[in-house]
Amino acid sequence: MTIAVYAGSFDPVTAGHLSVVRQAARLFGHVVVVVAINPAKNTLLSPDERVALVKEAVAMHPNVSVAWTEGLIVDYARAIGASVLLRGVRGATDAQFETELAQNNRALAPEISTLFLPAEAHLAEVSSSGLKQRVSRGEDVSAFCPPTVAAKLRERLDPSLRSQP
């Protein structure tokens, strides 16, 4: 059985991420969605919140599990016997960045392949940072993420929910 790893900060998980997961679940025997914890990165959601939101969002896929790591993704992939790293690509800018990352990963772990999977076309502009910006402006993001993610973002960022002085 081929094990694939789909890693990211998932701060928060978006419909674009889930589009990649759906494709991967059809292609591979097992997919591990890995929440990458980078202490140097300023995230809105805690690691536990991100893991819980991803777990809920992928629960309908029996061959998808969720984990987290603070280490290198290639090290995690090796440790679980994965042979493929998955990367979502939205457009040309992502492709350039992701190609450089894939080359670095290949240098570290030549036995692990990287596969790029594009999100569905209507989700090409969906990003975690974009979701946070929209919610901060009081916009509805329900078309771009699961309901639990939208609720968590509104709780943290929606100006209309902040208490007035």
Reported confidence tier of residue 122, pLDDT bands at 50, 70, 90 = confident
Reported confidence tier of residue 123, pLDDT bands at 50, 70, 90 = confident
Of the chain, the percentage scoring pLDDT greater than 90 comes to 76
87 is in an annotated binding site: yes
The DSSP symbol for 23 reads H
Residue range 3-124, CATH number: 3.40.50.620
- Per-residue pLDDT tens for 65-105? 999 999 999 999 999 999 999 999 887 777 888 899 999 99
- What is the β-pairing status of strands 64-69 and 30-36? parallel
Please give the positions annotated as active site.
17, 41, 90, 128
129 is in an annotated binding site: yes
Is pLDDT of 120 > 90?
no
Q: How far apart are CA 64 and CA 131, in angstroms?
A: 24
Q: Given this model, what pLDDT does residue 53 score?
A: 98
Distance of CA 23 to the CA centre of its chain: 14
| Count of alpha carbons within 13 angstroms of residue 62, beta-carbon side | 0
DSSP H helices in the chain:
15-27, 47-58, 73-80, 92-108, 128-136, 147-157
128 is in an annotated binding site: yes
What's at 139, amino acid-wise?
E
* Tokens representing residue 127 in the block: 């990003």
Looking at the DSSP assignment, which residues form a beta bridge with residue 31?
4, 64
Specify the pTM. Answer: 0.92
Q: How far apart are CA 54 and CA 138, in angstroms?
A: 23
Domain ranges of the chain: 3-124
* Tokens representing residue 76 in the block: 């995690």
Q: Given this model, what pLDDT does residue 161 score?
A: 64
